[in-house]
Structure 1
Amino acid sequence: MADAPFNILIVGQAGRLQYEAVLFAASLRHCAPGFSGQLYVAVPQPGPLWQRDPRIRNPDVLAALEELGARMVPFDSQVFGSAYPYGNKIEALQVMPEGEPFVFFDTDTLITGELADVPFDFSRPSASLRVEGSWPKPTLYGPGYDGIWRSLYDRFKLDFASSLDLSQPHEFWKRYLYFNAGYFYGACPRAFGARFLRYAQSVRDDPPAELIGQSLDPWLDQIVLPLVIHELGGGRDALPAGYLDGEVSCHYRVFPLLYARESDRVVALLHEITAPNRLKKVLKQYEPIKRMVYQRRGEKVRALFDQDNLPRREQAIRNRIKSEGFWMR
């Protein structure tokens, strides 16, 4: 079990994320009755970095989140905003309680088991390993993976060699520390967030020369997350496999992908937690949930695939769903 009580952070704002936040909170309360911490929903506030007001103003959503035990916490966007909304997860860490262990989850996640049973060691932070080699994309004339990643560790005076998985071949993406930012955790959200923000701002505003030709959007959070985790003493082996992105959580991304590739157990859980009338009233306001869950379009998506023999690349799954006219997000 976790070595200390901990809090959970998700980001909620107007649009898709507010409905995903309700689903996340409902799954947490349903599947993790032993969780004794606080669920925080961080909400960006309007300001010069937002083109539109990002706050949650839907009274049904706000009432549902309150009923499910979530605590809304506002934060101001000082660096990112609408130009890079993934930066919300970086800036929101500063409004979490200082010195209290935390786990961040993307809102497009369901809790599917007892979080209190996850053996977190918050002194060794880590993040999701459900990741493909999405970044970097070395060019024909170099530098390769080694040169690109080394330049980032050198920028922040971190030890590059100790971050490598030497069981993987040189210049193969898995040799280099890389995470999906769908979840991450640590001992203090403010200490974690301060490094995360400093590194992300530095790379965005003044990328090393080795990153010329590499896309930073939407990858910036995943580029600097390994650096933060490595500096704070964590790594790829800090959490035993099978808990998060396994028995205890599911990062489904979008509802068509959930129906296409997740287990029967996850699909059944989705249907169970969306069934109560008080939540149905809220969730039907979001078109993908209305059509995929309540109007059963998701079952048609599921019938397109053999869940025991899925295409290896996610893009192939997406393309098949789109070709049948079932894609929604």
Structure 2
Amino acid sequence: MAPLHPKVESFDVLCVVQAGRLAYEAVIFAATFRAANPGFPGRLVMAEPQPGPLWQAETRVPGDLRAVLERLDAEIVPFESRHFGQSYPYGNKIEALTALPGDRPFVFFDTDTAFTGPLSDVGFDFDRPAASMRREGTWPEIELYGPGYGRIWKSLYDKFGLDFEGTLDLTQPDEYWERYLYFNAGWFFHRDPRAFGQRFLDYALAIRDDAPDELVCQSLDPWLDQVALPLVVHSFGGGRPGPALAGLDGAVSCHYRLLPLLYAREDDRAVAAVETALAPNWIKKAVKDYEPVRKMVYQGKGAVVRAMFDRANLPPREQAIRNKIKQAKLWLR
């Protein structure tokens, strides 16, 4: 089948890798990416935070997993954590953008992503950034006597001198969370990673350190990146993803989050992509000691979780899925 968008320019793919769970997820990421994207013309870059004052534990990927990632042609590139680190690990995705040059477009994906189709099927417009709409109404949490969605979000747009009204989805009712621009930070893209990353950092730090009064009752941990992201996307002329990007969180990529959730709710293609990617012995030897992979994939517990759910009729909230898996004592992360 010919690519739907054969003229899309070359770009880099970026995720974060570090010792622990992300290193194992990075193997799934790279193995499924290479299987789905043979001959990909860009770089597959995995940004690795370096040990330092903001990380108390070792952050560098162990040698056996590093060897697997390098065999999968992933470039492991170091970066320094200057602002977030262990106190806010989600800040990795902001500071990791410094690991890329400023003259090539990029697409960032969370490391807990599997690929089921070629990225050449996605119509990226790198001059109009967007991000994932696979999210729930997690932020803000409206207090009984506090400001509503409109006042909270408008205070942020006003803080950075951005147009607020143009971001509203007027098909949604006033004071309903989906009316307001809100993304999952599981993927996003732009033409210039340095410019995008610097603005992402500037906005996130300004919100963290000097939030508008309307945010006084709001938690920013772990939501800071997802609060800043729509402001950054909008500031570069972007917005909600259009039909050309439907393959992301669709036929091309799957942000599965955790392996029990992969088996509980994702489609057969995503499960098959992960299991096929982890089948070769040289990969299995490196990842089999990681309990979620060992039990879910190699010992067949994933199939047990899968049988617990009807994917055509899943609970509307992720927490209900998690609770059911926990009750069966199969929740692993």
Structure-2-length-normalised TM-score: 0.97
Equivalent residue in structure 2 for 1:28, among 21, 28, 33: 33
Q: Which runs of 4+ in 1 moved over 3 A?
A: none
Deviation per CA, 1:240-275, whole angstroms, max 9, x where unpaired?
353100000000000100000011121112111111
Match of 1:307 in 2: 311
Match of 2:301 in 1: 297
**Residues 53-68 of structure 1: matches in 2 within 5 Å?**
53-56=58-61, 58-68=62-72
Measure how far apart 1:133 and its partner are. 0.5
Equivalent residue in structure 1 for 2:117, among 98, 113, 117: 113
Measure how far apart 1:200 and its partner are. 0.3
The alignment's C-alpha RMSD in Å is 1.0
**Residues 225-264 of structure 1: matches in 2 within 5 Å?**
225-238=229-242, 240-264=244-268
Amino acid corresponding to residue 276 of structure 1 in structure 2: P
Are 1:84 and 2:77 an aligned pair?
no
Match of 2:190 in 1: 186
Deviation per CA, 1:67-113, whole angstroms, max 9, x where unpaired?
10111110000100000000000001012011210000001000110
Amino acid corresponding to residue 326 of structure 2 in structure 1: K
Deviates more, 1:13-22 or 1:264-273: 264-273
Could you tell me how far apart the structure 2 residues matched to 1:305 and 1:16 are? 25
Equivalent residue in structure 2 for 1:38, among 31, 43, 59: 43
Could you tell me how far apart the structure 1 residues matched to 2:39 and 2:183 are? 28
Secondary structure at 1:282 match in 2:
helix
| Contact 2:102-2:193 within 8 A present in 1 as well | yes
Secondary structure at 2:302 match in 1:
helix
| Contact 1:179-1:222 within 8 A present in 2 as well | yes
Secondary structure at 2:248 match in 1:
helix
Secondary structure at 1:169 match in 2:
coil
Deviation per CA, 1:285-306, whole angstroms, max 9, x where unpaired?
2111011100111111111111
Deviation per CA, 1:199-226, whole angstroms, max 9, x where unpaired?
0001111111100111100000000000
Could you tell me how far apart the structure 2 residues matched to 1:210 and 1:327 are? 37
Match of 1:73 in 2: 77
Could you tell me how far apart the structure 1 residues matched to 2:233 and 2:324 are? 36
Match of 2:206 in 1: 202
Match of 1:286 in 2: 290
Could you tell me how far apart the structure 2 residues matched to 1:135 and 1:33 are? 38
Match of 2:146 in 1: 142
In structure 1, stretches of 5+ residues that fail to align are none
Percent identical pairs in the alignment equals 61
| Contact 1:121-1:239 within 8 A present in 2 as well | no
Measure how far apart 1:311 and its partner are. 0.9
Could you tell me how far apart the structure 2 residues matched to 1:64 and 1:247 are? 26
Could you tell me how far apart the structure 1 residues matched to 2:218 and 2:156 are? 13
Deviation per CA, 1:150-186, whole angstroms, max 9, x where unpaired?
0000110001111111111110111100000001000
Residue-pair matches, total: 328
Equivalent residue in structure 1 for 2:24, among 12, 19, 24: 19
CA 74–82 in structure 1, closer or farther in 2 if over 3 Å, else same? same
Amino acid corresponding to residue 215 of structure 1 in structure 2: S
| Contact 1:49-1:81 within 8 A present in 2 as well | yes
Match of 2:56 in 1: 51
In structure 2, stretches of 5+ residues that fail to align are none
Secondary structure at 2:76 match in 1:
strand
Amino acid corresponding to residue 147 of structure 1 in structure 2: R
Could you tell me how far apart the structure 1 residues matched to 2:51 and 2:276 are? 35
Are 1:176 and 2:198 an aligned pair?
no
**Residues 152-163 of structure 1: matches in 2 within 5 Å?**
152-163=156-167
Deviates more, 1:44-53 or 1:225-234: 44-53
Could you tell me how far apart the structure 2 residues matched to 1:230 and 1:69 are? 33
Match of 2:11 in 1: 6
Could you tell me how far apart the structure 2 residues matched to 1:185 and 1:238 are? 14
